[in-house]
Amino acid sequence: DQQVKQNSPSLSVQEGRISILNCDYTNSMFDYFLWYKKYPAEGPTFLISISSIKDKNEDGRFTVFLNKSAKHLSLHIVPSQPGDSAVYFCAASENNNDMRFGAGTRLTVKP
């Protein structure tokens, strides 16, 4: 069962522009959401998270937005840099247990 979905397998943006990565979930009991970034031949690394009691969390160039009614979250990267090129995984958990991952979106930032 795919409780966390990333419907765009890839995204290409120009350097300096905004990158928007989307994620949808089906389990209304999820209360903690995360984004992980993965470079080739490396393990995923934590990027940013948001609790269900918030609708926005910002960390430098990265902002995560949560829309609970739509069961949707998004990651905004502004401005995008070539070093941001990676696969981004959305993840969600209930009571910090059994974190479920989406299939990932490959972001390519072109110079």
Partner 1 sequence: EAGVAQSPRYKIIEKRQSVAFWCNPISGHATLYWYQQILGQGPKLLIQFQNNGVVDDSQLPKDRFSAERLKGVDSTLKIQPAKLEDSAVYLCASSLRGNAANTIYFGEGSWLTVV
* C-beta of 15 vs 94, nearer to partner 1: 94
In the complex, minimum distance from the CB of residue 17 to partner 1, in angstroms, rounded to a whole number? 26
Closest CA to 107 of 45, 50, 37: 37
In the complex, minimum distance from the CB of residue 100 to partner 1, in angstroms, rounded to a whole number? 8
The residue to which tokens 């984004």 are assigned: 35
* C-beta of 14 vs 45, nearer to partner 1: 45
Cis peptide before 79 (omega within 30 of 0): yes
**Number of helices (H) and strands (E), helices first, in the chain?**
0, 11
* C-beta of 20 vs 103, nearer to partner 1: 103
In the complex, minimum distance from the CB of residue 102 to partner 1, in angstroms, rounded to a whole number? 5
Binding site for partner 1 (CB under 8 A): 4, 6, 9, 32, 34, 36, 41-46, 49, 89, 91, 93, 96-104
Element (DSSP H or E) covering residue 99: strand 97-101
